[in-house]
Structure 1
């Protein structure tokens, strides 16, 4: 087995184990903030975090303090997902304080021994001390405690705010600059003093992602440990946010999120989702679940953001998706990056798949991408491995219940990823038969036992059936049920293929005749598909057995009985089954 793709994960897990073993470096709480890598509290050992990002926990106020170049700042928030930290001048915290903010935050460090914070789309504002009163609108009185003359403490000293776009050289000669602070000050001319202080009290945000690339030793240090930060510290931070935020109108979702202590994805705010998608600018697709938009994280990593529509199941689709894919990792399962829940606004963030979904490949028109039979076979095997992992590779058994080409995504190398877990359910691995209060699935792929209870119990074999129907469509490059084909005998593709194949006739699948190698591939896929779509669940193989069939020499493979015979004996016609299936078409 090729372990190269697994090495990054193995190394990462090993590093996590090492970090967790060191309790002295575990994330700590101060007030309402969690302090973790790359930050460290001064009470922690020097090897914890980065010494350039040392914070202090003020015992009297439970406030997080940063002291840089002898200037003191309070930390309002730390976002480990976006690599941002928000500061505020201490004088602005106490509304009864008459002092003027005189601290100047440095832009960034110039060496490896200094802080390296960068501003994020902010203007700068100067605070100036003038010896005479200024009457211009660009000079805004900075005094909070006004005496009779309108100055601050001295009759000969007047403090003003001055927008940062005014160069210091153009200041009035009687004024000197005493501080420069970053913030959202695009236009403060003419604003009341109270409004300016309100802007200041919101603090200013900086990014710590930009660091001096000439510091070679620290470069590897940052890359490795910031990666660990997103895994180690985020769980504690998100858990705390879940406990203190009650913004969601759906208590069921919030209760579920609070109960999960092993979820790895990031929780984004709705504003962050809008920023990631640039205001939902690039729409990738739409369905019954909502819409999907292309987005980009601050790291330039491309993602697909699924913005869920109004929930028809009291948030159950969201819970199903997060509960299942939020705890697993497999090369053939879509990677779940994060989620958003703010009231009725729900979104799911995944890795972006360059080649879209499988249905666009096998069902598209003249512009469709033509895949070789070898590549089609590799995609089929990848999907099978992904489903097998869901059934047997986790501590809990995950039944997808909606396997179809639309839910198979393809990356830049056409590696398939099973996606869309909105209908998925988790069960114990010991449960051979599971209970469902209602059928679920999509027309053309739903297993018959979900409609006819007398056929057999519901189990992971429902996903096996759906995979068989997907295989058939990959073989035929068309929908299994198509009323517009040239010959009526081809309306239902699996029946037509079975009759031709069982009689030893050549099956025409495209314009060019198949080579011997391609015939072997198609034969394996056909035999595997017909085993998967047997009517009785007990007659279907497990996904492990399906993979064996796809890997076995065709001379050792046996063609199964024709499907639907049992159904035809217990029902008026196959069409009756297909008609009933439409009742559970969720997409």
Structure 2
């Protein structure tokens, strides 16, 4: 065992991956290879220093120093010299006043000015001070250090170098509106101070030098030993030398690390190999005595098989979609486009959502899923469901990530978040906006049920899953519980219930009410619309545990009582609210066959209130003994305490389903 362990190639270690990755060439914009401590683009952060991030998306690399962007012109790794130019002055000697900032570096940064750096003062909005030119014969005064700005031809700018400042006769009396101190190359400024002044823009584009200090000595030692410089991922900012066998504090030579010479290294290898081999044999023997080795082998094979099936599901899905398949991102890609998951948008039982930006500037929402059980069928189901859709009221899937146990979805960013945050606070939306959201959501569901080649039943329609863009246009999201079925398929075969309490259709958790179908989404939509009207708030928190709130609505409609809903201040708004309530009541009929399809729901919402009738009262109401209005509720439209027991063919009291349906809609999601 000792001989085998000694001769195992050291490159098979986990650290060898970092050594290999940091040994590659990493181009960044127009620079062919960026050395340590710089990183960015495709180069991982552990191959550089955290404070030396480069933006590689433009025509030249860009680095941010003290919150100011600089264009990187060249990098000299032998002299540790970085040549940069201020981004706002690139090909522009007259930036806006808002962009004028003096370049200052202090000891808190990793940079200092190179010796060949000079200061150039630029003054803008300048005019000749005529009050001091009394003895002149005219205003056409020659100003040798003058330059013009395209933006404003009525004024001019002047530049002042160190030599010009010492020679007062070359600087006429002028009045300027603003000035800025710019660092430039000292040699380039000599042309400006000479007899034939050069071009200010060319001097600014030449940039200036910075010398960096980021473990320079350690990196040189590491490079001489054949290692690759990097940063310890467990202690960001601390130097580490990646070698072919493992990582070391300074270099690949153990002597420089304080562990002794080659003989000691060999002794350590032999000692640890022998000890590790003995412990390994002992553990294997114990495991085989306690449990047959075939059991351990089978578990290992099952784990490999699950991972293989998981990846096969993804590959099969991508092959099935062909050119229409959504883009597949790596976890490293997500790390970059979310700026290391900096901006968190929300959190739920499914995981966390972060704001990100694609390379073209398009904003996205990245949902990192916390649930990684199974072989990924639910995840692929969600990706497959939403990738088949293209509708203004269905959220757009920009891509996904499936990498080992890391799974994520990349959606189009919705500026106003989810609907629930507007329903459960005082800063709600106007009824007109809520009505448009209800109509848009209905159109989105109609598309899922009838507009796709494959019918999609969502099974989790609720306020948390209705996203709103900057114009409050609703988008149906979160297809984790969705089911795909053929367009002609009416009844869906499904094991167990799925959805959120308060929005689940009765047939989903009790098949005695009928078959599960797209009408289950209609029920959830009806509960959503009733929630949007604010009618549940009228029942009161204390009474919702005793009364199923749609019953309260029926009692008001039967006796033509005013609902007095929040935000309803006109006759038109009252008609809109009543229309939404009637549509919602039609959608929550107990029998799925009595619920209208979503196409009919859209027509009802956009039609006249006068043609809408009060629907039959659903049978799943609280016992008639309770009368919240002080009336005899036994005079309701129908008796409500019995349901047909399909197994016995007789009317039996309904117990558990009633209690389940009286749950108020969940606000937590």
Normalising by the residue count of structure 1, what TM-score does the alignment of the two structures yield? 0.59
Matching residue within 393, 400, 422 for 1:339: 400
Matched, 1:498 2:550: no
Per-residue deviation at 1:484?
Answer: 2.0
Per-residue deviation at 1:539?
Answer: 0.7
Q: Structure 2 CA distance, aligned partners of 1:331 and 1:377?
A: 17
Q: Structure 2 CA distance, aligned partners of 1:193 and 1:318?
A: 48
Q: Structure 1 CA distance, aligned partners of 2:616 and 2:310?
A: 45
1:384-429: per-residue Cα shift (whole Å, max 9, x none)?
0111111111100000000001100111111111000010011010
SS at match of 1:498: helix
Per-residue deviation at 1:347?
Answer: 1.0
Would the alpha carbon gap of residues 287 and 276 (structure 1) be closer, same or farther in structure 2, given more than 3 Å must change?
same
Matching residue within 321, 326, 329 for 1:265: 326
Would the alpha carbon gap of residues 491 and 277 (structure 1) be closer, same or farther in structure 2, given more than 3 Å must change?
farther
Matched, 1:539 2:594: yes
SS at match of 2:438: helix
Q: Structure 2 CA distance, aligned partners of 1:409 and 1:191?
A: 52
Aligned residues of 1:449 and 1:458 also touching (Cα < 8 A): yes
Aligned residues of 1:249 and 1:344 also touching (Cα < 8 A): no
| Matching residue of 1:568 | 641
Aligned residues of 2:432 and 2:573 also touching (Cα < 8 A): yes
| Matching residue of 1:22 | none
| Matching residue of 1:431 | 489
Aligned residues of 1:124 and 1:165 also touching (Cα < 8 A): no
Highest CA radius of gyration, 1 or 2?
A: 2
| Matching residue of 1:403 | 461
| Matching residue of 1:559 | 614
Matched, 1:118 2:67: no
Q: What is the aligned length?
A: 398
Matched, 1:301 2:357: no
Matched, 1:255 2:307: no
Per-residue deviation at 1:478?
Answer: 4.5
Per-residue deviation at 1:192?
Answer: 2.7
Q: Structure 2 CA distance, aligned partners of 1:248 and 1:277?
A: 33
1:321-375: per-residue Cα shift (whole Å, max 9, x none)?
10111232111111111111111111111122111111110112x4x2x322211
Per-residue deviation at 1:496?
Answer: 0.5
1:193-231: per-residue Cα shift (whole Å, max 9, x none)?
4646799x9xxxxxxxxxxxxxxxxxxxxxxxxxxxxxx
SS at match of 2:393: coil
SS at match of 2:472: coil
Matched, 1:373 2:373: no
Would the alpha carbon gap of residues 473 and 252 (structure 1) be closer, same or farther in structure 2, given more than 3 Å must change?
farther
Would the alpha carbon gap of residues 403 and 346 (structure 1) be closer, same or farther in structure 2, given more than 3 Å must change?
same
Q: Structure 2 CA distance, aligned partners of 1:576 and 1:394?
A: 33
Matched, 1:357 2:418: yes
Aligned residues of 1:340 and 1:348 also touching (Cα < 8 A): yes
Would the alpha carbon gap of residues 138 and 550 (structure 1) be closer, same or farther in structure 2, given more than 3 Å must change?
closer
Per-residue deviation at 1:456?
Answer: 0.8
Q: Structure 2 CA distance, aligned partners of 1:165 and 1:189?
A: 20
RMSD: 4.5
Normalising by the residue count of structure 2, what TM-score does the alignment of the two structures yield? 0.52
Aligned residues of 2:460 and 2:524 also touching (Cα < 8 A): yes
Would the alpha carbon gap of residues 389 and 307 (structure 1) be closer, same or farther in structure 2, given more than 3 Å must change?
same
SS at match of 2:414: coil
Aligned residues of 1:432 and 1:459 also touching (Cα < 8 A): yes
Q: Structure 2 CA distance, aligned partners of 1:343 and 1:581?
A: 41
Aligned residues of 2:504 and 2:524 also touching (Cα < 8 A): yes
1:541-562: per-residue Cα shift (whole Å, max 9, x none)?
1000101111221221122100
Matching residue within 570, 585, 607 for 1:515: 570
Per-residue deviation at 1:312?
Answer: 4.4
1:438-464: per-residue Cα shift (whole Å, max 9, x none)?
211110000000112111111100000
Q: Structure 2 CA distance, aligned partners of 1:528 and 1:472?
A: 9
Gaps of 5+ in 2: 1-26, 34-39, 44-54, 64-71, 82-110, 118-213, 231-241, 243-302, 621-638, 644-651
Aligned residues of 2:502 and 2:661 also touching (Cα < 8 A): no
Q: Structure 2 CA distance, aligned partners of 1:513 and 1:327?
A: 39
| Matching residue of 1:484 | 541
SS at match of 2:550: helix
Matching residue within 462, 465, 473 for 2:523: 465
Aligned residues of 1:567 and 1:573 also touching (Cα < 8 A): no
